[in-house]
Chain A
Amino acid sequence: MTTPETTAFMLFGFAVTFGILGVWGVMLAARWRSLRHDLEVLETLEREDG
């Protein structure tokens, strides 16, 4: 019995796994940066107005 050549599917599977988790991580990091920026702006406004 010959073992089928399915290496490309295996590599695709690993790439998709780390791709999904990577995209999620990048989105989380982008959200963090955006929130930090918002907080800095709001704190500046608070200091100026208060």
Chain B
Amino acid sequence: MTAVGTLPATPSRGTERAVSQRTRTLITLTVITAVAVGVGVILSLFYAGTDVTQGNVQRIFYIHVASFFGAMVAFGAGVVGGIAYLRTRNPKWDTLALAGCEVGLALSLVNLATGSIWARPIWNTWWTWDPRLTSAAVMALTYAAYLFLRNGIESPETRRRFASVYAILAYSTVIVTLVIIRIRPDTIHPAVIGRSAASAEGGFNLTSSMGITLAYHAVVWLVLVPLVLMWWRIRVENLADQVREARARVAEIG
């Protein structure tokens, strides 16, 4: 609100104020997310009951499952950004897609790593070419390739168009990874929610404390974690855009 007798804020001051307001919001959201993740770890350790057949290692399943949900949301942002860019040609949507794919990759690495660590004492191996594990690995590699390939294209317009189409098509690997334990009867990967395949090994029945802990993790990793990580990534990409623009201006002067 402008006080009587004072000049209205200039557009640049207004923009600066909006940026600092967004920064404050992001920092607040980051702190809330960190606390929420910490509370989740406490719930996993002290609230959820111990699985008698697996011992404490079962507790990392909450993060294992929730990080996959987070990756799904982040990769979904890649699809939204890709479709919106192809429709509008606004580079901001490509930035959203890039952030989504990169954050999704980080979260799917968490999912793969925690799964592998859980598998060692339960399946007696770090890795096996089970349909679910293979599809999860293909998914992560597909998105790693997205980051490498888009960096290899010089023309910004071509890069954005290619990356948009790629991000949309790559989501098929997420869908396959999600449904494969329901459609392949030979998988040994247990389904945490719903019925597992007859061949599944290492499944467990969710008690009420386990269900509440899993639901809490799912909400935190589905909403807060991808949102905050993608927001930070978008900020870095916006700064990179400013550097590219400044570089072009300096080259023109020179």
Contact = CB atoms under 8 A, between A and B. Distances in A.
Given A36-B239, A39-B246, A42-B247, A13 B60 contact: yes
B35 interface: no
Q: What's the dominant secondary structure at chain B's contact region?
A: helix
Given A3-B52, A6-B121, A14 B41 contact: yes
Interface residues of A, number: 30
Interface in B29-73: 41, 50-60, 63-64, 67
Contacts of B121: 4, 6, 9
Interface in B208-236: 229, 232-233, 235-236
Interface of B: 41, 50-60, 63-64, 67, 106, 109-110, 113-114, 117-118, 120-121, 229, 232-233, 235-236, 239-240, 242-243, 246-247, 249-250, 253-254
A17 to B, nearest CB: 5
Given A13-B117, A17-B110, A46 B63 contact: no
Q: What's the dominant secondary structure at chain A's contact region?
A: helix
Given A6-B121, A17-B60, 5 more contacts: A4-B54, A9-B120, A24-B106, A28-B236, A49-B253
Interface of A: 1, 3-7, 9-10, 12-14, 16-17, 20-21, 24-25, 28, 31-32, 35-36, 38-39, 42-43, 45-46, 49-50
A12 B120 CA distance: 11
B110 A7 contact: no
A2 to B, nearest CB: 9
Given A36-B239, A42-B246, A13 B52 contact: no
Contacts of B53: 1, 3-4
Contacts of A39: 239, 242-243, 246
Nearest to A36: B239
B50 A3 contact: yes
